[in-house]
Amino acid sequence: MSSPKVSIIMPVYNAAAYVGSAIASALSQTGVSLELIVVDDGSTDASAEAVRAAAAGDDRVRLIQLERNTGMPGIVRNAGAKVARGEYLAFLDADDVYLPERLSASCGLLDRWPEVSTVFSDHFRNGERNPRPESLGDPHLVRLNFVNAAGPALVPKAPGLYWTTPRFFGYMCLSGIPMCTDTVTIRRDVFDKAGGFSETLRYNQDEDLWFRVAMSTTIAYTTTPLARVWRRDDSHTGDRRRADAMKKWDQHYRTNVALHEGNYARGASLLTPDERRAYRHLIAARWIDLAYTCFLAEGARSRELDALVHAWRWMPSMSVARMFVRALAPGTVRARFRARAMPTGAHAG
């Protein structure tokens, strides 16, 4: 069998109820040879059976079943990448779907411009599982006014097509990563050279990879929406047990801050002095947000102090000093502070 042009990697965990739609959207792509590698991260439901049923004997689909649940999307996606045969790699979560031209459009751009390492596109985001087409609204990056906001980080190449400039890395550091992984197609050799997905970050491992790719390569952005992403309510905030919800949120937030600290360590030399200072302020503000949330939770003083120490290292300020005073106050005083506190996070002043 000849090698496919593109390998789609799909991580699955307890997705039996909706993985069939994702697989159908991948296999219905036209104009490009493909393979779909589904990696089951130790599901305890009927996900494997649902994958086999959706594949219906299509030999373009391969199912890899990990022996135990890793809970690490980076490990799962890398397992698929290791056996992928395509020149390009694309990604699809088990609860999302490709739009019809997803692969032909992105692979066509990579075929045409060998100097481009990666392509991403706009996409639709919905809270409904199967929204009506007329209810999709504007694509996500259109809503964010991304092209205008990115400014000199993008240059127009053709109608609806932009290339990133060296300023794109700084834009991502300070304004967020616009790349939805479901819309990303990357050259296999670029993926390998970048080291693949982080296997130590439980969250944000895809953003970590896009940071590394943006540091040294040109990325193309097409305004055509090529995927539909289903955004569910955050299970952390939906946890009825406050202690469990706090623990999950704390882990998620600390992982996110670790992402940015690591990114600063390897990419600070690519930033202007103003960007470096702004990025340090942003990282400090994230630690302050975490400290404030710990302050609102009884019995979290040690985590609050730890977060404030980190914030002070990144950006010493009177705001952090005042929070240290509050953190070290007697319990009765802290209780009065909490009673008066607003139920929203605080930011560095």
Residue 346 lies inside a defined structural domain of this protein: no
Q: Same structural domain for residues 150 and 218?
A: yes
Q: Same structural domain for residues 88 and 171?
A: yes
Confidence of residue 234 (pLDDT cuts 50, 70, 90): very low
Taking residue 258's Cβ as centre, other Cβ atoms within 10 Å add up to 17
**Paired residues of 38 in beta bridges:** 10, 63
Q: Which of 229, 263, 295 is the last residue of a domain?
A: 229
Q: Same structural domain for residues 185 and 296?
A: no
Please write the tens of the pLDDT for every residue from 329-348.
Answer: 898 888 887 777 655 444 43
* Structural domain of 247: 242-340
Q: With 50 as the cut, is the pLDDT of residue 300 above it?
A: yes
CATH of the domain at 36: 3.90.550.10
How many domains are there within the chain?
2
Residue 72 lies inside a defined structural domain of this protein: yes
Residue 236 lies inside a defined structural domain of this protein: no
Q: With 80 as the cut, is the pLDDT of residue 298 above it?
A: no
Q: Which of 164, 194, 229 is the last residue of a domain?
A: 229
Cβ pair 120, 209 in contact under 8 A: no
CA–CA distance, 200 with 72 (Å, rounded to integer): 8
* Cα–Cα separations (whole angstroms), residue 301 to 84, 268, 312, 327, 341: 47, 32, 16, 7, 16
Q: Average pLDDT in the 306-325 region? A: 94
Cβ pair 260, 285 in contact under 8 A: no
Q: Same structural domain for residues 108 and 172?
A: yes
CA–CA distance, 311 with 253 (Å, rounded to integer): 14
Q: Same structural domain for residues 135 and 198?
A: yes
Q: Same structural domain for residues 198 and 99?
A: yes
pLDDT for res 171: 98
Q: Same structural domain for residues 126 and 162?
A: yes
Q: Same structural domain for residues 186 and 314?
A: no
What is the distance between the terminal CA atoms of the chain, rounded to a whole angstrom?
A: 61
Please write the tens of the pLDDT for every residue from 104-129.
Answer: 999 999 999 999 999 999 999 975 55
Q: What is the CA radius of gyration of the chain?
A: 22
Please write the tens of the pLDDT for every residue from 157-213.
Answer: 999 999 999 999 999 999 999 999 999 999 999 999 999 999 999 889 999 999 999
- The CA angle 296-298-299, to the nearest 5 degrees, is 130
Q: Average pLDDT in the 260-269 region? A: 97
Q: Which of 229, 259, 276 is the last residue of a domain?
A: 229
Q: Same structural domain for residues 308 and 181?
A: no
